[in-house]
Every structure is written in structure tokens, then in C-alpha cells.
Amino acid sequence: MSCLTFLTVRKSIRIVFGLIVFHLAANAFAQEVAEPDPVKANVYRLQFSPYTHHYTFDAAHRDVVMIGLEKESPEADLIGITLFRNSFGQESVYVYPWGGVYRGIGGFRPVSFKWTAGLIYGYVDSFQNKVPLNYKGFSPGLIFGLAYEFRRGWSAQVNFLGTAAAMFEISVPLD
């Protein structure tokens, strides 16, 4: 694939994701303001990320694909585990025993803010310095995200991976 074709594809992907975000935001602002529904029992979610946008180009970057399992308690606490192929093609895992979700951001029920904190393993060898505080492949992780619930329990989420990238995720409930 030529460099020009690659850049055109990347630009097209950005435009498509921008339109999706615009559509979701427009729907959120058009809906009535409502109190968020409290979670009455533990909710388990399957997470999938098909795409991660890196803020800067690096020839070593590879496609990042993530799959995970998350549990939300009635108190809006989050715990979970994700398995992913990191930006350098290495199999990795993120375990987060701490996290939280805040619903109704800006007065809009479908919008929520999430945070998770835990431990990442997988950035090894020549890529160990690509994440801060890495020791033999282990490093702390702190991820913030914005989610939009487009169907009861189903959400699209953007996770902000520090100064490196933004990960786009779909989350579905496991009933």
C-alpha cells in the first residue's frame, strides 16, 4: 500500500468516526434530560475494540484489537480484565480492580464518564519504554473514557490512553 493510499484511508477513518461521534452527540443533546437509572445488580459487559487512533505516527505501530470483560456493581464501581494486542504487536493484558462510572454527564442520561486503574503487562523487550514506570513488562494503568449508551446496556466508548492514543470500544451486556 502506498503512503498516499495509507494516509487517505486514515483520513477517511477519522472522518467516519467524527461523523459517528457527531451523530451520537446530536442524539444525546436532543433527548430529554432525565435522572440516570441506578444499577440494581451487578452488570457484566463484554468489551470489544476494533480500532485505536494513535496521536502520532510511528512506523512500528500495529493495529490494536482488544476484548474484555467488565463488572459494574450497584455502587457504580468497575472491575475488569482486557486482553489486547498492543501498538507494537505484543500480546498484553490490563487488569483493573479499581474503577468507577458516573452517569448523566452534562444532564444527559446516555452519556457517562468512566475511569479504571490497574496493572498492564505486555510491553517488553525493545518496547518496554513505551509506557511509563514499566518494570519487566509490568506497568501501572489509568484509563479515562466517555461512553454513550445508544441502546439499553449497549454503549460506544472512547478510551483515552494517556498521550498516546484514543481507543474506540463497543460494550454489550451479558444477561
Neighbours of 154 (CB within 10 A): 13
Helix (H) or strand (E) holding 131: none
pLDDT tens, position by position, for the chain (175 residues)? 444 444 455 655 665 555 555 555 555 544 444 444 555 789 999 999 999 999 999 999 999 999 999 999 999 999 999 999 999 999 999 999 999 999 998 888 899 999 999 999 999 999 999 999 999 999 999 999 999 999 988 999 999 999 999 999 999 999 7
Give the model confidence (pLDDT) of 55-81 as tens digits.
999 999 999 999 999 999 999 999 999
Q: How far is it, in rounded angstroms, from Cα 138 to Cα 93?
A: 10
- CATH topology for 33-174 is Porin (2.40.160)
Domain boundaries, the chain: 33-174
| Per-residue pLDDT, 82 | 98
pTM of the prediction? 0.77
Non-local (6+) Cβ contacts of 101 within 8 A are 72, 76, 78, 112, 113, 114, 147
Helix (H) or strand (E) holding 119: strand 111-121
